[in-house]
Amino acid sequence: MADFGPLDHLWYHEYYTGRNVGLFMKIHKMIHSEVSKYQRIDIFENPDLGTVFALDGITMTTDKDEFTYHEMLVHVPMFLHPNPKKVLIIGGGDGGSTREVLKHDNVEKLILCEIDERVIEASKKYLYLSSVKNDPRLEIVNENGAEFVKKFKNEFDVIIIDSTDPTAGEGGHLFTEEFYKACNDALTDNGVFSAETEDPFYDFSWLKLSYKRISKAFPVAKVYMGFVPVYPSGMWTYTFASKGIDPIKDFDPEKVKKFNKTLKYYNEDIHVASFALPTFVKETLEKLKK
């Protein structure tokens, strides 16, 4: 008789756009599962990936590789701003981006705006907010980020959009031109912005749509890339934007070299290299500009 564990019959399946390709993982232990007002929340353990967090059947994070995503989303804009004191994260209820922002000692105030308070509560217990939830610099707001950001003008040094996919939960509100323009208005004159903008294989249409809209809202908008093994295709894009700061010309590698906190993916070389795009992505984005 085969040596099966008590939960070897339980598997998680994620279907990528088109539902012809996907990802599967063994559920070793179910940690948390509920349907909130906005979405289904599942947290479970996998023998190889550790704790897995999913919303509406779409993988958000795994312990094994979440740092690759969160470090690239956060540290690219954080190191480009000359002195980021006030930061806004929209989405990101798992707390990974919050943890990375708070590694920067010059941050005086961080607002995490997550629409689903149940995600926040689960994250405080099982995910990455658990390690930073008592940091006095952190304020958590449970509101629709697309509406929340409209309350501010010339307020934040850095805005980071850590959203779900446009088709998942409330994520679609965070991919509109109106929203990106509101983010521009909420930034200080030398403020910087970053957003996750999907993968260029299964969801290239989403990348093109978000980049086009961000480009209309900001004078400077440049796509950069990184590897997130558990995400569709493993190749992930982000878009940096600002009112004038250039992510290569204005980058100071010495700031990264002198950083005294642990980084496992991002470094000064990765920063520069991430803006070098594959030909098929580069040519498509250049056509959109024209």
Q: Where are the domains of the chain?
A: 11-61, 66-289
User: What is the C-alpha to C-alpha distance for residues 169 and 156, in angstroms, rounded to an integer?
Assistant: 26
Instruction: Quickly tell me which residue has 């629709």 as its tokens.
Output: 144
Dist. CA 96–CA 208, nearest whole Å: 26
pLDDT at 44: 98
pLDDT at 170: 43
- Into which CATH architecture does domain 66-289 fall? 3-Layer(aba) Sandwich (3.40)
Bridge partners of 14?
A: 23
pLDDT in tens, 105-152: 999 999 999 999 999 999 999 999 999 999 999 999 999 999 999 999
Containing 184, the helix (H) or strand (E) segment is helix 177-186
Active site residue 162: yes
Q: pLDDT digits over 156-210, tens only? A: 999 999 987 665 444 456 788 999 999 999 999 999 999 999 999 999 999 999 9
Helix (H, G, I), strand (E, B) or coil at 47: coil
Q: Bridge partners of 138?
A: 110
Phi, psi of 59 (to 5 degrees): -70, 125
Catalytic residue among 116, 157, 162, 203: 162
Q: How high is the pLDDT of residue 9?
A: 82
**How far apart are alpha carbons 234 and 218 in whole angstroms?**
28
The answer on pLDDT for 95 being more than 80 is: yes
Query: In terms of CATH architecture, what is 11-61?
Result: Roll (2.30)
Q: At what angle do helices 204-217 and 177-186 cross, to 10 degrees?
A: 40
Residue 266, token pair as written in the block: 């991002």
Convert the pLDDT of each residue in 46-85 to its tens digit. 999 999 999 999 999 999 999 999 999 999 999 999 999 9
